[in-house]
Amino acid sequence: MSCDKLVDFCTAWRNGIRLVWNVPPDTHGYVLPLLCKCLPVYSEICRRSANFLRARILHNSILVRTVGLYGIIHGRCDSPIGWNALLCMRRYGVTQSEMLSGRRIDEFICMRHSTEEITAEQERSVDFL
């Protein structure tokens, strides 16, 4: 989930939100999720990826489960599934055992992560808008 095209897409998404909400182009990025009450696009992609991994781990098919588990446990950085799992675990503070237990990475966890460094003053400035 780390590539230049993804960074370009996230930048374009933020610029589009600024246009839709009619805020100045130099508005800080922390304002956007609070203003539109949605996750930043990168957080949404990470959330969906984590839930895709969860679905593979809990799948009815033994083949699908085995491939998913292999990617997370053994493949790690050599596997796209393992790489995405490591990124999600680091980003949201989830351990490997929690990921393997099928813990759902929901929108609340992602929004909390996206807004945890926002001060009360910054939040009041968004409420003013």
What is the model's pLDDT at position 87?
Answer: 84
Q: Using 50, 70 and 90 to split pLDDT, how confident is the model at 114?
A: low
If you average pLDDT over every residue of the chain, what do you get? 79
Tens digit of each residue's pLDDT (9 = 90 or more) over 44-102: 888 888 888 888 888 999 999 998 888 888 877 788 888 888 888 888 777 878 777 76
Evaluate if residue 116 carries a pLDDT over 70.
no
Residue with tokens 């009815």: 60
Residue 74's pLDDT is what? 84
- Ordered alpha helix ranges (H), the chain: 4-20, 31-36, 41-57, 62-70, 80-92, 96-100, 107-115, 120-128
Residues 6+ apart with CB under 8 A from 103: 54, 94
pTM of the full structure: 0.72
| 20-35 pLDDT, tens digit each | 888 888 887 777 887 7
Task: Evaluate whether 127 touches 116 at the Cβ level (below 8 Å).
Answer: no
Does 112 score more than 70 pLDDT?
Answer: no
* Confidence bin at 106 (pLDDT 50/70/90): low
Delimit the domains of the chain by residue range: 4-114
Q: Please tell me the predicted confidence (pLDDT) of residue 61.
A: 95
Residue 83: per-residue pLDDT: 87
